[in-house]
Structure 1
């Protein structure tokens, strides 16, 4: 009877005191957090003395997890509804892998926690490469993100290559398939799970072996090679493993030389011709394009140099002769202009104006910008060479009515060079004259296989505006049995320390302000040509320079630069004030771009057109000028600080009376 009562009370006690765990096993990623829960019950008339979680260890008494030094600051109990408890462990470590149990004690009962609790497994990530970590281009490669146990929340996996995410790599599958694998796939790979991209696996390196790419070849020195000199051929190619090189001459067997560089000393004309190299490794091989070596004998070279020297001397003599003739013609024309029925205006009268028909604003100016007569300048700023036959060529003003100008149909090729007050520097003027003469004599010599033709040899533009500088370059479609390919085009104004042109696109002085574009290639017969344009925005006065164009081809000596290039002058507008009579002043809009159409503005409102504008002496108004099409780029204004009175002109022309004291006129 006593034994029965003891057994019955045990059953009754077990039914009133119990702990249950909804999840018996958990797999969680290292470095993250986990919540482990349980429910418990005890007689309501027996309040709890204590309750806590502990890490079960065989043959050890349980101890409160919050008092365990291994979990200091990482374990906490959530306060929840009666009969339920949750343990949260943060910053999970490998050593946290264990079984966790819950215990409590009432006044009459202590739950020993002898039943199994929740087993936690903490795992990391690792990458496995199949078949191996070193493969050959074209194979199929599978990368698998591995954990020691299936993660509880079935996350999406993310792949990283060389510290960057692989596009489209996030998916529920833990594999990344590269099929076929290529050189671009080589590198270090790691994986992570969604919401924890910082918890990556250790990196696994994938090595991809591939055959050499098409080798590139070069020769030093370039151009014609004189007999007896030394020449070095170089070959390079991207490959893994690194490539070995063997040299060949066209239509011959191997020249017997191996290595990235091949040097020929004391070269002869028989050794000239086409060479190529073969790059090879264990995966495969590839041949380079042909490289032509042009060997000339020394006597021929000396003859060529002598002929060129004589040609240069002859051209120089012709230039000086033309300048001399121009000076004589100019004096005679001025004299003739002064005697052509002009009324005698007195000793102080101004000479007749001459037309400047060469300078113009950039093609972005308003179409209303027409050529205007300008006052003749000092000779140091005004030089003109004029040889013309074209029906469209403008006739100088003093010859406009001459009877002997009626027939222009049979004349020699035209050459017109002008330097006027737009170039207020003698060196720019001289450069411009030489440039025009070079273009003229090039035209007389006939077509050339390699040429660069600039649309305009000089351009004048306003500061703050945009300018386009264009050229067309020409080259043979095929030379030395090798089709010509244009490898590089660039515009430049200066060279680096190694005398290499500095591309304007990489020049710090033009950052964000230049664009370069080239049109389609057009081939007619055996020649090809292409147009290229340089655009410069927000022009500055420091942009005034000579702009040259350079292009490079795959032909021997295929680097070509056209000198001189295009002389660009960047200018501002200024208002010049001069007396007209006792009551009026003449305002003149002055700029280095002499042929622009000018608009005048009174107090910011458009008032008149024309280069000159006359006003009365006093006024409260301010005046400025601008080039039509560039109205936002006004000149500094001129005004009178204290008005006296204003008066409308009796003829009703839209001009306010202006009363400027000449010594009070200032720029604002």
Structure 2
């Protein structure tokens, strides 16, 4: 019987043969035996299964590893975390895999377990994941060439292609896998299969390596909220001298992220070698999820591409309470970790490294999980039975505040035992002394509890020495409860005015561009305001003006004008 594969999201080739394995009324049917798909795309592997009536199915598993009788479920394999989906229809065993990688190439098998017997569908489905590559053939004519879009496995009968020249779609080209053009050594080319433009080939030069192009090390990156990420690209220009480079994100024009107030104090561009640029973003928030692009400028032009850049997805970590006492550590995407860390009542559980954990029968306990290697960014603590367990969760893991201002640090809490007799805040490195009793904070701290189960620590007139990690604890009649998990880290920043560039020097005046710098950025998309000789001048990220010797300049965050930078006089020596 000849049937087409149930496959989408750039499934390029399949062997048109339905494979049925059946035994005593048990069976698995795969709608294809071989599938070729492009890296970065989505594949759907069609599958159905049968079993006798009066038999109960207990479990459905897709696997590539282990032997047929002890398979490792793809849903619990960290390599596939956040990328696999099993069909919700019970008699369907269709498997979906997103964001394909070349390492996903394997033989996939389905197994189901019943209260009578277990059954595995053999031989399975062979998936080959290919990356597109452009090959340049100049054998026919010296100044003309044929570009060929190649893959490592056979595509289906007549896929339609798209070609790009210097990062821009070629509107006049046909939809063939080849394209002929006059070869200008400054040009670069890339190809994709129509409908799946996000999975383009790397850009290649047609002659040598000196052409205008940008290639990204990763098309997609998953990172945990609060952590840091590096996004890298390689680039080169046909013109030897590149004057400037920068990164920007989709949906925000092409503004340099170093000038974007949302990223103030959190971004850094690293260029340790020629032709490679890395954007580092610290203290990630979910609003940082976006597609990031690189561009460069020469003396004659600015070069940027319409091709996809690197898509960053920022995820938080959560504990999911499933049936019974089984807990799962889940994320929206896979940050490429191989093991997990579990916490019980804020203390690490030794030997627990799987994505799942069996909770104890004691419902007073709370649980949290983290990804191995980035334990500082753990999930919120959860109870396994309602809301009554011992736990503390912080509203924010990190806070940036301006020197001289005030800050509120909040937590929610509850106890299995009631009533709670007392609550207090303390900071790391100073024992667990109540901050209201600490002489460093005398007259500056206040504990606010306007509703049950929520506590807010307010610190006024902040100093840079207040930068620390703050924790909450409570006491009942029989115990004191505090956690070894990270609390809220406060960074107090003092603004500084820096000269970013000198534009021109005159006999009595100097034209200068100024930047307002801080070690971190308060929450929100804040803007700077500028003062010259104590008079408000302008509201923008930088300040350019003619300055006289003796002019005094300061800056502040908008809304925090009372907490200005130190006044500076930079112009007597220019």
> Going by fraction, where is strand more abundant, 1 or 2?
2
Over alpha carbons, which structure has the higher Rg? 1
> Going by fraction, where is helix more abundant, 1 or 2?
1
Query: When the two structures are superposed, what TM-score results if normalisation uses the length of structure 1?
Result: 0.34
Query: When the two structures are superposed, what TM-score results if normalisation uses the length of structure 2?
Result: 0.39
